[in-house]
């Protein structure tokens, strides 16, 4: 229902903060780390409303990527809002994304409330689903080698923008590196290779 709230952060507590909008309503937002916000400062806080049988709760996020990751974590069997916030509190989204991409469940057990079984479930449920987050946040999960061939570089960038993973694009670069072609030609060759 809500996307974000603009307002004055009036109070900061260990588990939540209060933000007052211009109409004078104060919203209680549970956040991963409330001390990343400043009290008595106008802020733009992204929110997610969770409605349960006996409660309606607002969760706040410092940016859209944190909100996106929170929602992805909620889709994991065994992870609820409080566990998702505990994972986000570490402020290591890049580490989380990399661990999922590399099937590193042992890395995930460092988060509070995440045992071996839950860590394996996170990897299983989120594998390949965090690539968009990595790209939009500028994270490097798996580096795509650079190339001096501008046409090939443009083709690889276009393929990433189409939603192909960094892993797929890296494979394509090695396949296409020995060819001389236009950007369009590289894209056509890559798509033929991908649909095999």
The structural architecture, per CATH, of the domain 4-61 is: Beta Barrel (2.40)
CATH number of 150-194: 1.10.8
* 17-26, 64-73, 77-86, 175-184: least confidently modelled range: 175-184
Q: Give the tens place of pLDDT for each residue, 46-71.
A: 999 999 999 999 999 999 989 999 99
Read off the pTM: 0.67
Tell me which CATH homologous superfamily contains domain 64-136: 5' to 3' exonuclease, C-terminal subdomain (1.10.150.20)
Nearest to 17 by CA among 47, 69, 54, 60: 60
Cβ pair 83, 113 in contact under 8 A: yes
* 6-20, 91-105, 109-123, 146-160: least confidently modelled range: 146-160
Q: Averaged over 141-160, what is the pLDDT?
A: 66
**Residue 55 phi, psi (nearest 5):** -160, 155
Look at the chain and count its residues: 196
**Rounded-to-integer distance, Cα 134 and Cα 167, Å:** 12
Most confident of 116-125, 144-153, 158-167: 116-125
Tokens matching residue 61: 């996020």
In the prediction, which pLDDT does 134 show?
56
**Rounded-to-integer distance, Cα 30 and Cα 110, Å:** 22
In the chain, where are the structural domains located? 4-61, 64-136, 150-194
């Amino acid at each position: 229902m809500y996307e974000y709230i603009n307002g004055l952060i009036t109070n900061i507590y260990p588990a939540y903060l209060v933000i007052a909008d211009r109409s004078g309503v104060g919203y209680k937002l549970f956040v991963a780390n409330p001390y990343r916000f400043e009290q008595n400062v106008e802020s733009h806080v992204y929110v997610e409303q969770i409605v349960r049988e006996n409660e309606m709760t607002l969760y706040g996020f410092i940016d859209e990527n944190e909100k996106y990751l929170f929602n992805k974590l909620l889709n994991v069997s065994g992870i609820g809002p409080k566990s998702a916030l505990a994972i986000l509190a570490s402020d290591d989204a890049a580490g989380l994304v990399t661990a999922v991409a590399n099937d590193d469940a042992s890395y995930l057990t460092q988060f509070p409330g995440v045992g071996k079984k839950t860590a394996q479930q996170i990897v299983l449920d989120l594998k390949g689903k965090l690539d968009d987050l990595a790209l939009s946040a500028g994270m490097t999960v798996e580096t795509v080698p650079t190339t001096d061939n501008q046409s090939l570089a443009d083709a690889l960038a276009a393929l990433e923008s189409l939603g192909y993973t960094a892993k797929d694009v890296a494979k394509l670069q090695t396949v296409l590196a020995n060819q001389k072609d236009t950007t369009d030609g590289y894209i056509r060759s890559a798509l033929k290779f991908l649909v095999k």
